[in-house]
Amino acid sequence: MTQIEKAQGTDFIRTIISADIQTNKNNGRVATRFPPEPNGYLHIGHAKSICLNFGIAADFQGTCNLRFDDTNPSKEEMEYVESIQEDVRWLGFNWQDRLYYASNYFEKLYDFAIQLIQKGKAYVCSLGPDEIRAYRGTLTEPGKNSPFRDRTIEENLDLFQRMRAGEFPEGAHVLRAKIDMASPNLTLRDPALYRIRHMHHHRTGDKWCIYPMYDFAHCLSDSIEGITHSICTLEFENNRPLYDWILDQLEVPCHPQQIEFARLNLTHTVLSKRKLIQLVEQGRVSGWSDPRMPTLSGLRRRGYSPEAIRNFCERIGVAKRDSVVDMALLEHCLREDLNRTAPRVMAVLKPLKVVIENYPENQVELFDFPNHPEDPSQGTRPVPFSRELYIEQEDFMENPPKKFFRLGPGREVRLRYAYFITCREVIKDPESGTIIELRCTYDPATRGGDPPDGRKVKATLHWVSAAHAIQAEVRLYDHLLTVETEKVQEETDQDMNHTETADFTTKLNPHSLETLSSCRVEPYLAQVRPGERFQFERLGYFCADSQDFTPARPVFNRTVTLRDTWAKMQTKG
Ligand code: ATP
Ligand code: MG
């Protein structure tokens, strides 16, 4: 099977493209683009679109452009332009020399607007924004023609040129397409194509004071770049007739086909830039790269691998109907990858001191631990063992209930890869009564963790040597939202009419971050690089924080726990 044949049945978009190749549409060429607006950082929803567009280009030996849709001067910044490129590269995709900006086409777009006016297909309307809205009508009532709809071509050309020259204040005029005020599709009721904005643009500076609207700029940018398949999310379905109308009126290099797919929604988080900006601006998170954010930079800092995200995007597939994907699936894909790749190490989050009374005072043994039990190629590392150790507070109970199999008074357990120990005495703080130390003994015959007599213990605990362990900060992350979905309001109108939804910040999880500052980790973990990922045995996957980690003050993020709720749901269901 060729790669194209394989791709053909993957999803409905690839099926369409395969058919186009067979009929030699576009001379068999496939060109897609990923067109982010640089008004925020990319999130996991964008990853779906990136994987789709770049993936299709790869499957069909085509090309995929990265195009900044930077037509809105009020919200765009260089910081976003840079972070978007970094994130696409990190995900594993390469636009080669095809980095474009819609703002590079401003002159061409202006010429297209002039052409439309000359054909009598666009006019300058001088109604105010409120009047334009009132004239537009509703879903059940047709709109009314603007009193300026029948301006002569000459008058329109003159006004539009003077709009560009900066003669008018914002809101005085807009350029509108002359289509049909009675169309059942509201987007066709003489939509605005250009508006006045006396604003600085991050790339064109003060050269322009009129800016094209999304619907006008997008289809023409696609056409200028020779895009064959313009893939976007479902909320643009109603805009497709306008996309086609504009291209049909003009002498354009090509007419791309717009295809819509369902955007990704995920449980327990928000995937709207507007809401993510709100979290950043209100200081509810530490920034766009806060490990709780569903942004690609947040997921990266949290410890996600690009492989895990790409696998996730492949598994969720591409459909025509909106749905909400369970966060547990994303985490499942992450565990699959980390289980294979992450070295195992030992760390104790809430330390409880253990003194092994029969172990010689100044003795230190270096055990050689496998870095990955199933992958010997990952090698081994030395781990020191001595008389004083730390184990997890949770692994000891003074009065253990029936189902607690770990350490208790008089009980024997295995210390991972080391020895069996038995608890002999519990030392408490005389004032508070809290347990501060366990006195234990070890059985030298169990060295390596297996006794020659074959006797069994019910638990294996992780541990670190007290004298050698390094103090570390560990940040435990949990879902951003306490609820599965915060009902997302579709934002079909990109520029106005943002209907206010109930404030989603009331659903933020107050326990989404727990910081533990007196953890103890094995000495090896002081030498790792920021961003490196590990499995802390029995605790989960963690990574060295890419911003705050230093050998003197190691900081680790919990990437994900070991408990796979997705796998569980699959076996139950
Ligand atoms: P948001 O709704 O988060 O503000 P947006 O659609 O305004 O996002 P753009 O920068 O315009 O963000 O998006 C770039 C591309 O990514 C578009 O083609 C858009 O359709 C796609 N995209 C955005 N969000 C998602 C998502 N949740 N799932 C899939 N694709 C998405
Ligand atoms: Mg958008």
First to last CA, the chain: 34
Question: Which residues, 6 or more positions from 23, have their beta carbon under 8 angstroms from its beta carbon?
Answer: none
φ, ψ at 367 (rounded to 5°): -90, 145
- Please give the biggest Cα pair distance in the chain: 101
**What's the pLDDT at 3?**
75
Task: Map 536-556 to HEC letters.
Answer: ECCCEEEEECCCCCCCCCCEE
CA distance 167 to 369: 75
With a CB cutoff of 8 Å and minimum separation 6, the contacts of 159 are 124, 151, 173
* Whole-number CA gyration radius for the chain: 31
For residue 72, the 8-state DSSP code is -
Same domain, yes or no: 95 and 203: yes
* pLDDT tens profile 142-198: 999 999 999 999 999 999 999 999 999 999 999 999 999 999 999 999 999 999 999
pLDDT in tens, 459-471: 999 999 999 999 9
Backbone angles phi, psi at 476, to 5 degrees: -100, 125
The C-alpha atoms of residue 209 and residue 166 are separated, in whole angstroms, by: 6
Q: What spacing in Å lies between the alpha carbon of 21 and ligand 2's midpoint?
A: 29
Domain count across the chain: 3
Of all helices (H) and strands (E), which one includes residue 138? none
Say if CB 18 and CB 6 are below 8 A apart. no
CB 71 within 8 A of CB 214: yes
The reply to whether 84 falls in a domain is: yes
Handedness of CA 253, 234, 101, 203 (dihedral sign): positive
Is there a single domain that holds both residue 107 and residue 189?
yes
338 CB-near residues (< 8 Å, 6+ apart): 303, 305, 308, 533, 535, 541, 559, 560
Q: Which residue(s) pair with 124 in the sheet? A: 175
> In a mutational test of the pocket of ligand 1, which residue from 49, 273, 293 has the highest number of ligand atoms less than 8 Å from its CB?
49
Nearest alpha-carbon partner for 559 in 533, 532, 535, 541: 541
pLDDT tens sequence across 36-80: 999 999 999 999 999 999 999 999 999 999 999 999 997 778 999
Q: Which-ligand-closest: CA of 278?
A: 1
* CATH code for the domain of 280: 2.40.240.10
Q: What's the CA-to-centroid distance between 107 and ligand 1, angstroms? A: 26
Indicate whether 386 and 488 sit together in one domain.
no
Q: Are residues 227 and 158 in the same domain?
A: yes
Q: Which two tokens stand for residue 293?
A: 């954010």
400 and 323 in a common domain: no
Report pLDDT for 501. Answer: 54
Distance, in Å, from the CA atom of 193 to the CA atom of 267, rounded to the nearest integer, reads 36
pLDDT of residue 572: 63
In a domain, 467, yes or no: no
Please state, in angstroms and rounded to a whole number, the distance separating the CA atoms of residues 227 and 219. Answer: 9
Using the 3D structure, point to which of 261, 291, 323 is the last residue of a domain: 261
| Three-class secondary structure assignment of 407-440 | ECCCCEEEECCCCEEEEEEEEECCCCCCEEEEEE
Q: CA-CA distance, 323 to 445, in Å (whole number)?
A: 58
Q: Are 378 and 485 part of one and the same domain?
A: no
The answer to whether residue 63 is domain-embedded is: yes
Please identify, among 462, 485, 510, the residue that sits at the C-terminal boundary of a domain. Answer: 462
Shared domain check, 402 and 509: no
Is 50 exceeded by the pLDDT of residue 222? yes
Q: How confident is the model at residue 8 (pLDDT cuts 50, 70, 90)?
A: confident
Contact 471, 519 (CB under 8 A): yes
Q: How many angstroms separate the Cα of 168 from the Cα of each of 126, 175, 533?
A: 11, 13, 57
Mean pLDDT confidence for 120-144: 97
β-bridge partners, 435: 428
From the CA of 45, the nearest ligand is 1
Q: Tell me which residues have their CB closer than 6 angstroms to ligand 1.
A: 35-37, 45-46, 48-49, 232-233, 263-264, 271-274
Predicted confidence (pLDDT) per residue in 461-516, tens digit: 999 999 999 999 999 999 999 999 876 444 444 444 444 556 899 999 999 999 99
Range of the domain at 88: 3-261
Let me know whether 487 and 390 are in one domain.
Answer: no
Q: What is residue 496's predicted lDDT score, i.e. its pLDDT?
A: 43
Same domain, 361 and 432: yes
CB distance 179 to 191 below 8 Å:
yes
Angle at 397 between CA 392 and CA 398, to 5 degrees: 135
Residue 226 has pLDDT above 80, yes or no: yes
227 shares its domain with 297: no
CATH code (residue 121): 3.40.50.620
32 alpha carbon – ligand 1 mean position (Å): 15
Query: What confidence category does residue 564 fall into, taking pLDDT thresholds of 50, 70 and 90?
Result: confident
In a domain, 489, yes or no: yes
pTM: 0.94
Residue 269 lies in a domain: no
Structural domain includes residue 133: yes
Statement to judge: residues 357 and 449 lie in one domain: yes
Segment 120-137 mean pLDDT: 97
Average pLDDT of the chain is 95
What value does the mean pLDDT take over residues 297-322? 97
**Nearest ligand for residue 274 CA:** 1
Residues 6 or more apart in contact with residue 394 via CB below 8 angstroms:
350, 406
**Ligand 1 atom with the shortest distance to the CA of 235:** 20
- Consecutive H or E run containing 305: none
Q: Separation of 271 CA from ligand 2 center, angstroms?
A: 12
Residue 356 domain-assigned? yes
- Quick one: 366 and 303 in the same domain? no
Q: Is residue 267 part of a domain?
A: no
